[in-house]
């Protein structure tokens, strides 16, 4: 059965290719902002981490479902990633200023990166799960200031939740992680592969 990745993320594509999985990509047409607003409204009494967990699962589910509806007889993988500090959920930055402020806020603190994954087969949900990894940034100092400014100049933070990627120059900001590296990269590939194995 053919596999579809319902994502345009080059990181997710890279991870599936790394595992010798044959697939094609189809980007879903869901309104992510509408879903986010709905989830945050429904979960407004919950803590930030619960909100992030629910949001990533819901976005992954809806991406996979949307693509599955127009691609019957396929295995469809949906995924989404958000960064959550203890204060708020951090999505992709809206500007370079926003990216700078986000990265400064994360300095010296531990935050969580949540990635949700959903698998649909023949239009039906097989499973949806989330993973999170704790990430600690180095404390703010002149070195961090220079790294952040140089990193933003590359443009790389602009398409990433939390304004950084662990697999690129953003790694220079990170002191320690607790959990799965690939969850931070955007797809918990070892967990996904084990769940996917019966179908491939």
Which pLDDT tens digit goes with each residue over 105-115? 999 999 999 99
CA distances from 104 to 81, 88, 178 (A): 20, 14, 21
Confidence of residue 87 (pLDDT cuts 50, 70, 90): confident
Q: Give the mean model confidence (pLDDT) for residues 144-161.
A: 96
- 47, 53, 80, 86: the active-site residue: 80
Structural domain boundaries enclosing 42: 2-199
Could you tell me if 73 and 1 are in contact, meaning their C-beta atoms sit under 8 angstroms apart? Answer: yes
Domain with 15 in it: what CATH number?
3.90.950.10
d(CA 48, CA 37) in angstroms, rounded, equals 14
Confidence of residue 199 (pLDDT cuts 50, 70, 90): confident
Please count the structural domains in the chain. Answer: 1
Q: Is 150 one of the catalytic residues?
A: no
Confidence of residue 37 (pLDDT cuts 50, 70, 90): very high
pLDDT value at residue 170: 97
Which residues lie across from 119 on neighbouring strands?
77, 127
N- to C-terminal Cα distance for the chain? Answer: 7
Q: CA torsion angle for 39, 102, 136, 118 (degrees, to 10)?
A: 30
Radius of gyration over every alpha carbon of the chain, rounded to an integer in angstroms: 17
Q: Give the mean model confidence (pLDDT) for residues 86-103.
A: 93
């Amino acid at each position: 059965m053919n596999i579809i990745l319902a994502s345009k993320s080059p990181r997710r594509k890279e991870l599936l290719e790394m595992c010798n999985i044959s697939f094609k990509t189809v980007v879903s047409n869901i309104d992510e902002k509408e879903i986010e607003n709905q989830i945050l409204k429904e979960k407004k009494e919950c803590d930030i981490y619960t909100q992030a967990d629910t949001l990533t699962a819901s976005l992954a589910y809806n991406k996979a479902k949307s693509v599955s509806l127009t691609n019957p007889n396929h295995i469809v993988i949906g995924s989404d990633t958000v960064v959550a500090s203890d204060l708020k959920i951090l999505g992709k930055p809206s500007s370079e200023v926003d990216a700078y402020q986000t990265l400064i806020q994360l300095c010296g603190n531990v935050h969580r990166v949540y990635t949700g994954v959903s698998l649909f087969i023949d239009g039906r949900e097989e499973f949806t799960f989330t993973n999170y990894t704790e990430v600690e940034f180095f404390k703010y100092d002149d070195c961090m200031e220079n790294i952040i400014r140089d990193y933003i100049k590359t443009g790389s933070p602009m398409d990433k939740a939390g304004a950084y990627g662990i697999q690129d120059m953003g790694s220079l900001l990170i002191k320690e992680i607790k959990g799965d590296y690939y969850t931070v990269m955007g797809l918990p590939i070892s967990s996904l592969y084990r769940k996917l194995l019966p179908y491939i």
